[in-house]
């Protein structure tokens, strides 16, 4: 049976470290500040933004939430973003996705000040990640949180075979880059592939498809590490991941549960990265 990678426990530990760092910074007269811009009425996005705001305040981080109506134009959004980009009191900027269809999301994300890009999606920071630059820069929070989980549980990456299922710019692509940079041999596929052809001999599997039963016990070798990023509802309405958890748990070496695995790490990593951006800026 697998060792469960406890994302809740690790996120709590990271949050405690973040709060300690924030308190130290406050003694130096610096308060980290996260600004979130949300456009439209997507209820899932609003819930996520509320949870970010609440967590930031709990950790002593100043949180600004700018809510803009659905009909906001690209020009109007850029005006707000430009103000935040040049506001020295704001250290981290996040534009909540998805944006309304009339706004070019890729273009907008590219306009975030790279030094304040807390989500790590800005093209300059993405380029630094893929080039494995040695300097400080932000990285997409979910993959960065997964790397912390792997490190916490002393899971070896150098020379290991890793498969990333999913090619999104939010998880799949930056996850692959981080694993490559850590010395793993990485394959990136989508759920349309014959998953087992790639995963059966993999030491590490990261699934981020949002599709039930993407990974079953027939796709996994004994002792593999399974990272489940998916969030789906099963036929009973229960929140589950991409992985057939109960069956895979019996043969995996390590596995993340859903809920309680990767999810808590995303927000805690966002908070950690807000503090890091503050440290990397001219604020200290």
Q: What is the DSSP string of the chain?
A: -PEE--HHHHHHHHHHHHHHHHHHHHHTT---EEEEEEES--HHHHHHHHHHHHHHHHTT-EEEEEEE-TT--HHHHHHHHHHHHT-TT--EEEEPSPPPTTS-HHHHHTTS-GGGBTTS-SHHHHHHHHTT-SS-----HHHHHHHHHHHHTT---TT-EEEEE---TTTHHHHHHHHHHTT-EEEEE-TTS-HHHHHTT-SEEEE-S--TTSB-GGG--TT-EEEE---EE-TTS-EE-SB-HHHHHTT-SEE--SSSSHHHHHHHHHHHHHHHHHHHTTT-
Judged against a pLDDT cut of 80, whether residue 46 lies above it is answered with: yes
The Cα–Cα gap between 53 and 116 comes to 17
Same fold across 29-113 and 141-263 = yes
Tell me the CB-side half-sphere exposure of residue 206, using CA atoms within 13 A.
30
The Cα–Cα gap between 217 and 159 comes to 24
Catalytic choice (6, 52, 122, 273): 52
Supply the CATH classification number for the domain 141-263: 3.40.50.720
pLDDT digits (tens, 9 = 90+) for 7-43: 999 999 999 999 999 999 999 999 999 999 999 999 9
Query: Is there a catalytic annotation at residue 52?
Result: yes
CB 142, CB 11: distance < 8 Å: no
Structural domain boundaries in the chain:
29-113, 141-263
CB 263, CB 228: distance < 8 Å: no
pLDDT at 191: 82
pLDDT at 284: 57
| Angle ∠(96,99,101) on CA atoms, nearest 5 | 170
Judged against a pLDDT cut of 80, whether residue 176 lies above it is answered with: yes
pLDDT at 283: 58
pLDDT at 183: 98
Mean pLDDT of the chain: 96
Per CATH, the architecture of 29-113 is what? 3-Layer(aba) Sandwich (3.40)
Q: In what order do the strands lie in the sheet with 92-95?
A: 62-68, 33-39, 92-95
pLDDT digits (tens, 9 = 90+) for 107-163: 999 999 999 999 999 999 999 999 999 999 999 999 999 999 999 999 999 999 999
What percentage of the chain exceeds 70 in pLDDT?
99
Residue 171: closest CA among 195, 137, 140, 149: 140
Catalytic choice (6, 119, 219, 244): 119
Tell me the CB-side half-sphere exposure of residue 102, using CA atoms within 13 A.
11
Q: Provide Rg for the chain, Cα atoms.
A: 19
Catalytic choice (6, 55, 96, 160): 96
Mean pLDDT along residues 95-104: 96
pLDDT at 235: 87
List beta partners, residue 161.
185
pLDDT at 192: 87
Judged against a pLDDT cut of 60, whether residue 230 lies above it is answered with: yes
What backbone torsions phi and psi does residue 35 show, to the nearest 5 degrees?
-115, 125
Q: Give the pTM.
A: 0.95
Mean pLDDT along residues 225-242: 94
């Amino acid at each position: 049976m697998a060792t469960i990678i406890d994302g809740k426990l690790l996120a709590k530990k990271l949050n405690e470290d973040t709060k300690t760092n924030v308190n130290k910074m406050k003694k130096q007269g610096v308060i980290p500040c996260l600004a979130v811009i949300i456009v439209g009425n997507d209820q899932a996005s609003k819930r996520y933004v509320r949870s970010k705001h609440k967590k930031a305040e709990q950790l002593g981080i100043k949180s600004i939430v700018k809510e803009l109506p659905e009909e906001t134009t690209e020009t109007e959004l850029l005006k707000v973003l430009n103000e935040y980009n040049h506001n020295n009191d704001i250290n981290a900027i996040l534009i909540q996705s998805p944006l309304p269809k009339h706004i070019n999301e890729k273009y907008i994300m590219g306009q975030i000040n790279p030094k304040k890009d807390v989500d790590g999606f800005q093209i300059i920071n993405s380029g630094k990640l893929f080039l494995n630059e040695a300097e400080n820069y932000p990285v997409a929070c979910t993959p960065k949180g997964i790397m912390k989980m792997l490190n916490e549980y002393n899971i070896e990456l150098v020379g290991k075979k890793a498969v990333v299922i999913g090619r999104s710019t939010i998880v799949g692509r930056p996850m692959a880059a981080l694993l490559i940079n850590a010395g793993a041999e990485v394959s990136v596929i989508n759920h349309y592939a014959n998953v087992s052809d790639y995963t059966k001999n993999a030491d590490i599997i990261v699934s981020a498809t949002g599709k039930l039963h993407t990974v079953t016990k027939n796709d996994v070798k004994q002792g593999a590490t399974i990272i489940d990023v998916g969030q789906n509802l099963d036929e009973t309405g229960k929140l589950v991941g991409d992985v057939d958890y109960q069956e895979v748990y019996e043969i995996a070496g390590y596995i993340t549960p859903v809920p309680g695995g990767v999810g808590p790490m995303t927000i805690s990593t966002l908070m950690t990265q807000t503090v890091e951006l503050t440290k990397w800026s001219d604020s200290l």
